[in-house]
Amino acid sequence: MGERTNLRASDGHELGAYRSEPSGRPRGGVVVLQEIFGVNSHIRAVADGFAKEGFLAVAPALYDRSSVRDVEMGYTPEDVKRGRALREEFSWDDTVKDVEAAMLSLRAKELRVGTVGFCWGGSISFLSAVRLPLDCAVVYYGGQILPYVNEKERCPLLMHFGKKDASIPLKDVEAIRGAHPEAAIHIYDADHGFNCDPRPQYDEAAAKLARERTLAFFAQHL
């Protein structure tokens, strides 16, 4: 369904992206933000899923600023270690520039635009919501929000967290809720990564409910 495309950030950086188009006029644009495993088959499937729902979806290859391009990994312990190492090569400011490039590519189609991010991408989705002129943003278990928690969102915000997620204690979720009382925050009886079906932490019931809420949120704001 989708195809590879290219984007150019405001600082001149060129990055790849996966673009998935719906049949007919798009209902809106969605920027899909990767986990630490790159724009892999799961992230492409997520983008395709939003396209099937009528949205034009773009997943920017955020690792293209690193020492390697076209990164695509699985979920082994070795992949986790490599993904964390690649993530450390980044500045958050540069990553937001890449999200902005994807956003502007969708704005060029005269679409309202939202982001949805998972894990590392969830934190990026939050940061994009406070720094970019988006129409809405969705966060799945973003674990690096607290350093930026006092920045105010510029658009409606929907957030999904897992009660069993040891990497994001519920006290952190409550701190986020306290700083962003207008955000819709849901907690599921699930672990980190519950939306990702190739991972052992996948939780079908939580993933289904979170997706229903996300689609309703996009239908309202896009």
Query: Mind listing the domains of the chain with CATH numbers?
Result: 2-221 (3.40.50.1820)
Active site amino acids: 119, 165, 192
The reply to whether the predicted model has a pTM over 0.75 is yes
- Angle ∠(4,145,209) on CA atoms, nearest 5: 70
Q: 113 forms bridges with which residues in the sheet?
A: 29
User: How many Cβ atoms sit within 10 Å of the Cβ of residue 25?
Assistant: 9
> What pLDDT shows up at residue 88?
83
Quick check: 26 and 56 in contact, CB under 8 A?
yes
SS3 at position 39: coil
CA 163 – CA 217 distance, rounded (Å):
22
Rounded average pLDDT over 77-94? 87
Rounded average pLDDT over 153-158? 97
Mean pLDDT of the chain: 95
Pairing of strands 55-60, 28-33: parallel
27-41 residue pLDDT tens: 999 999 999 999 999
- Backbone angles phi and psi of 77, in degrees to 5: -55, -35
51-78 residue pLDDT tens: 999 999 999 999 998 878 888 888 988 9
Report the Cα 144 to chain-centroid distance in Å. 13
Start-end of H helices in 55-167? 77-87, 92-107, 120-131
Number of H-type helices and E-type strands within the chain: 6, 8
Name residue, tokens 């695509």.
72
